[in-house]
Amino acid sequence: MDPALLRERELFKKRALTTPIVDKRKQEKEATKDEPPKKKPKPSSVSTGPKLDMVNYKTMAGSTQYKFGVLAKIVKHMKARHQEGDDHPLTLEEILDETNQLDVGSKVKQWLQTEALIQNPKIEVTDGRFVFKPMYKIKDKKSLLRLLKQHDLKGLGGILLEDIQESLPHCDKHLKNLQNEILYITRPLDKKKIIFYNDKTAQFPIDEEFQKLWRAVAVDAMDDQKIDEYLEKQGIRSMQDHGLKKPAPIKRKKPVNRRKQFKKPRDNEHLADVLETYDD
C-alpha cells in the first residue's frame, strides 16, 4: 500500500477524534423522559352537534312533502267516510282529530284552511266546513239507475265502475240489487269495468247465422277509412252522417254601395181630375 495514503488515513483519524459530535437522538430521548406524558382525549360517545327534534321536523312549514302527505291523508279519509254513508261536513280540527294529525303546525293548518282544501277538486266547502265531493251525486240504487238511463238516452255510453264506487255509499250492495238492470263491459285497453244500463226494449232475436258472420269479421286492425273503402268495393255505401259534422264555411257577401239617391217627388196623377187650383 502507498505510504502517502497511509499517512493521510492517520491524519484523518486524528482530526476525527479531536472534533466534538452531538447526538441529537439521545438529546430528544432525554427531553421526552423529563416531560410528563400527555393524556389522549377519549372519544365521546355523544355528538356535540345540534339535536334533531322529531316533533319539530314533522311540523316544519317548509317541508312540502310533509304538507302534501297530510293533505293526501285527509282526502283519503273523507272519501272513506263518504263511502260509508257519513256525508255531514266537518271542520278542519275535526278532520285532523279523526285522522290523528293534531300535531300539525299552525302554518300547515293555515295552508290547509285557505288553499289546499279549498282548491282540491275532491273536497267541497260549505259554511267553512269540508265534505267529500264525489264524481256523481248519487245516494241510492234509484239515483244510480236514473243516472245510467240518462247516459243511455243521451248516447253518452256507460260509466266507469270506479267512479260509481267512489260516488255511491255502500256501492256493492246496490250493484247486487241492480244486477238485472245493468251490464258490465271490460274495456280492452286498461281492463277497467264499465257499467251500462240494460235497456230491455232494445233486445230482439237475431239469427244465429248472422251472429256467426258478424263475429267472423275481424276489424281490430282497421280504421273507419279502410272500412269505408272495403264497403265501397263491395258495392255497399257506408253511412256518412255519423259523428260531428264540420260547419260549412260562411260565404261573405260583397259590401253593397248604398249611396242615398235623390228621388224625384211623385205627382198624384190619378187625382188630376179632382185637383183644383186656387191661384186666382
Q: With cut-offs at 50, 70 and 90, classify the pLDDT of residue 20.
A: low
pLDDT digits (tens, 9 = 90+) for 100-153: 988 888 899 899 988 889 999 999 998 889 999 999 998 888 999 999 999 888
What pLDDT digit, counting tens, does each position of 190-225 carry? 888 999 998 887 777 888 888 888 888 777 777 778
Phi, psi for 178 (deg, rounded to 5): -105, 25
Residue 75 pLDDT exceeds 60: yes
Residue found by looking up cell 267472423 in the block: 216
Of 69, 74, 66, 67, nearest to 92 by C-alpha is: 74
Tell me what the mean pLDDT of segment 70-97 comes to.
Answer: 90
Higher-scoring residue by pLDDT: 109, 21: 109
Q: What is the pLDDT of residue 47?
A: 46
Domains and CATH numbers, the chain: 62-132 (1.10.10.10), 141-199 (1.10.10.10)
Please check the confidence at residue 44 and state whether its pLDDT lies above 70.
Answer: no
In whole angstroms, how far apart are CA 70 and each of 82, 113, 192?
19, 12, 29
Distance of CA 32 to the CA centre of its chain: 74
Asked if 95 contacts 50 with a C-beta cutoff of 8 angstroms, the reply is no
Q: What's the rounded Cα separation, in Å, for the pair 85 and 163?
A: 16
User: Residue 49's pLDDT is what?
Assistant: 45
Return the pLDDT at 50. Answer: 46
pTM of the predicted model, to two decimals?
Answer: 0.52
The 10s digit of each residue's pLDDT in 153-170 is 888 888 999 999 999 999
Q: What is the mean pLDDT of the chain?
A: 78
The predicted structure's pLDDT at residue 25:
57
Provide the percentage of residues in the chain whose pLDDT is more than 70: 69
Assess whether pLDDT exceeds 80 at residue 51: no
The pLDDT value recorded for residue 95 is 92
Average pLDDT over residues 13-36: 61
